[in-house]
Amino acid sequence: MSSEQHLQISEWPKPVYNFEQNPITEDGFQLGRKLFYDPMLSRDNTISCANCHLQFTGFTHVDHAVSHGIEGRKGTRNSPVLINLAWNSSFHWDGGVNHLDVQAINPIQHPAEMDNSLSNVLEYVNDSKEYRSAFFTVFGDSIATSSSLMRAISQFTVSLVSSNSKYDQYQRGEVDFSNQEKRGLKLFEKHCNSCHTAPLFNSNEYASNGLPIDTAYNDLGRYGISKVGSDSLKFRIPTLRNIEHTYPYMHDGRFKKLREVVQYYAEELDREAPYLSEKLKTEMKLSDNHQKDLIAFLCTLTDRSFLYNRRFGFPN
Ligand code: HEC
Ligand code: HEC
């Protein structure tokens, strides 16, 4: 079985990730998993990737709006979910990272995340008999380099595929939706799917959904990377898979409940907001019951076989 088949899901678009440059193997996946859950990667050995990316919440954090790193240092953004990353063509809320295989440098070096240096991490890994032997098995060289370290981590993160929610089962004709879920699906297709597009429920694009700028961070989103004025306040359109469990919501975690998000789109969104996407300029007219229907549909995107898959959990 080639690695690409391993992630090829019928009816889904082809993954963006180039598996030829980093063929996924079982040993590589297990090595990446070990690294992902290893707090020794942080400067004071307290924070692993999993501290901010917890499996049972779709690999994001839940207890605070923005991420917390070593020594309780606060970041400026909500940690995104790690779901179906093989289909993403850019990463971070502003798309500031364009390849998964370089992404992990950011949290390792970020002062408010792991605050370490790549050379420290490599020294630690290359001092460990277990890691040396694992790197030899996977990459044919017992000495880890920054490139093999990054690719090992990607072998794990790119394997975090969620494709077995109730929605997927419904699409495959295995289960039925309740009438409420069916009504919610219709509303979703009308108002949300143009951006949060099935089957991945994201877009590899940036948009403003009209949120007023957060006064704590003054985060201008995509503009910070592109420096193009019209990109102000645009953020990557995130996936809604497992959304029931990935609160708080938005780049700054400003909403704690799905109900608040739906209410925002239905009632609070300022249709005159600067940079607002054309797609959101017409009012949605969603009654309380419509909003409930929509939420019922969003909950069909929960995939317990993903959130509780032991294969993705803490290694034994
Ligand atoms: C202190 C919290 C924290 C830690 C530790 C952390 N991350 Fe993250 N992660 C974040 C935040 C916050 C972002 C979003 C950054 C942004 O948008 O600027 C992010 C983004 C990502 C993304 C991009 C996802 C996407 O769809 O855009 C990946 C992949 C990722 N992290 C993997 C990792 C890995 C691998 C590690 C360990 C080496 C790690 N993270 C450690 C908080 C953290
Ligand atoms: C114009 C494109 C667009 C449309 C249409 C749209 N959204 Fe969004 N959505 C976004 C963007 C962009 C974000 C991220 C904004 C941010 O973080 O500042 C987002 C974020 C979200 C989030 C938070 C995700 C997370 O992980 O934090 C939810 C939930 C959501 N949208 C639900 C909906 C629903 C429900 C609808 C339909 C009523 C909808 N969206 C319509 C673009 C859109």
pLDDT in tens, 283-294: 999 999 999 999
- Protein residue whose Cα sits closest to atom 40 of ligand 1: 49
Both 36 and 112 in a single domain?
Answer: yes
Both 72 and 209 in a single domain?
Answer: no
What pTM was computed for the model?
0.96
Both 23 and 138 in a single domain?
Answer: yes
92 Cα–ligand 1 center, Å: 7
pLDDT in tens, 38-64: 999 999 999 999 999 999 999 999 878
> Can you list the positions of beta strands (E) in 161-200?
none
Cα(first)–Cα(last) distance of the chain, in Å? 26
Instruction: Give the model's pLDDT for residue 1.
Output: 39
Question: Is residue 150 pLDDT above 90, yes or no?
Answer: yes
Both 170 and 215 in a single domain?
Answer: yes
Instruction: Give the model's pLDDT for residue 73.
Output: 86
Both 154 and 20 in a single domain?
Answer: yes
Both 41 and 125 in a single domain?
Answer: yes
90 Cα–ligand 1 center, Å: 13
Both 146 and 184 in a single domain?
Answer: no
Residue 205: both structure tokens together: 């694009």
pLDDT in tens, 222-255: 999 999 999 999 999 999 999 999 999 999 999 9
What confidence tier does 6 reach under pLDDT thresholds 50, 70, 90?
Answer: low
- Protein residue whose Cα sits closest to atom 11 of ligand 2: 237
Both 232 and 283 in a single domain?
Answer: yes
CATH code: domain of residue 47: 1.10.760.10
Both 155 and 248 in a single domain?
Answer: no
* Ligand nearest to the CA of residue 232, numbered in listed order: 2
SS3 74: strand
Closest atom of ligand 1 to CA, residue 110:
1
126 Cα–ligand 1 center, Å: 24
Per the structure, how many domains does the chain have? 2
Domain range for 277 is 166-303
Both 145 and 170 in a single domain?
Answer: no
> Can you list the positions of beta strands (E) in 143-219?
206-207
75 Cα–ligand 2 center, Å: 22
The span from the CA of 81 to the CA of 251, in Å, is 11
Cis ω before 199 (30° cut-off from 0): yes
The span from the CA of 120 to the CA of 313, in Å, is 25
